[in-house]
Amino acid sequence: MNISEVVNHEPRRKVMVIDSKSFYASVESVDRGLNPVQSLLVVMSQQENTNGGLVLAASPRAKKELGVKNVMRQRDVPSDPRLIIVNPRMNRYIAMNKKVNDIFRKFIAEEDLHLYSIDESILDFTET
């Protein structure tokens, strides 16, 4: 039996994987009345007794225009007066994650919602 025959006999499911784009940076942008795709914003951890923390999340524009990368050290983040640097607020991200997943729950049963991470969910529409 070749791989095609094996795959053809496997059960089929209809799933959607949703990954919220730059989730922490998007939440921070929206909370500030900014467009999450257009803002230049970085969520930066703070470390005492060091020269700064790490980038936890960067907006798409900060990544594209300034070359900011997740887990980049603060000292390596380009200096730009337009760049907004904010502290992380995990409780806020958890609350927003709950709101996002509550929207999904309006369309699928609880057992068909699989939470993968704080910004990723898998929705199984097979039985819907």
User: Domain of 45: which CATH number?
Assistant: 3.40.1170
Residue 1 lies in a domain: no
Decide if 39 contacts 68 (C-beta within 8 A): no
The two three-digit tokens of residue 67, written as one number: 């070359």
Domain holding 14, by residue range, is 7-124
Residue 91 located in a structural domain = yes
Domain presence at residue 74 = yes
Nearest to 76 by CA among 84, 89, 67, 85: 67
Q: Is the pLDDT of residue 21 over 80?
A: yes
Per annotation, catalytic residue among 5, 65, 120, 127:
120
Across residues 3-25, what is the average pLDDT?
Answer: 88
pLDDT in tens, 87-113: 999 999 999 999 999 999 999 999 999
**How many domains does the chain fold into?**
1
**With bands split at pLDDT 50, 70 and 90, how would you rate the model's confidence at 38?**
very high
Concerning whether 127 is annotated as a catalytic residue, the answer is no
Query: Within a domain: residue 2?
Result: no
Separation of alpha carbons 59 and 30, rounded Å: 11
